[in-house]
Amino acid sequence: MTAVEEKPARARLVSGPGMLLVWLYGVMVVGAVSRSVYQIATEFDRAPLAYSLSAVAGVVYGFITYSLVRGGETARRLALVCCAAELAGVLAVGTWTLVDPSAFPDATVWSKYGMGYVFIPVLLPLTAMYWLRKARKQRPGTV
């Protein structure tokens, strides 16, 4: 028992709604990474900007997923920052694709605020940030 107490357990982020979030983020990781890997490998010259942005989106999703699964205060904060960056990315790229479509011969994951992904890219960071802020208040260490 003492061995367990010496090493304080990381605050679990993957419980309750967190599980659903991890699932959705996992789906987005697979979607964004596999899509960008395929497109960069086969037709990068057609829309280099769009495919690079998809790859960046995939990396950000991957990091958030890992942080959620790992848990703990540091991971929670980093995930929060990444979610904010993700939201900023979705909004910026989404606006960019609407204002200047000619820069994007092909779609990115974040085109038109993620319309091709049922707007999950714009809804997910909002939900995740809400969940991560709530998780701080429920930390077991404060009980």
The closest alpha carbon to 108, from 46, 18, 64, belongs to 46
CB of 140 to another protein, least distance (A): 17
Q: Which residues bind another protein (CB under 8 A)?
A: 14-20, 22-24, 26-27, 30, 34, 38, 42, 118
CB of 18 to another protein, least distance (A): 8
CB of 99 to another protein, least distance (A): 28
Nearer to another protein, 4 or 118 (CB): 118
- For tokens 């204002």, name the residue: 99
Nearer to another protein, 63 or 131 (CB): 131
The closest alpha carbon to 22, from 134, 124, 99, 107, belongs to 124
Nearer to another protein, 28 or 82 (CB): 28
CB of 27 to another protein, least distance (A): 5
Burial of 27 (0-12, 13-18, 19+ CB in 10 A): middle
Tell me the CA distances in angstroms from 45 to 15, 34, 35, 109, one per residue in order.
Answer: 43, 18, 15, 17
Nearer to another protein, 18 or 94 (CB): 18
Question: Is 104:121 a contact under the CB 8 Å cutoff?
Answer: no
CB of 88 to another protein, least distance (A): 25
* Number of separate helices (H) and strands (E) present in the chain: 5, 0
Nearer to another protein, 63 or 117 (CB): 117
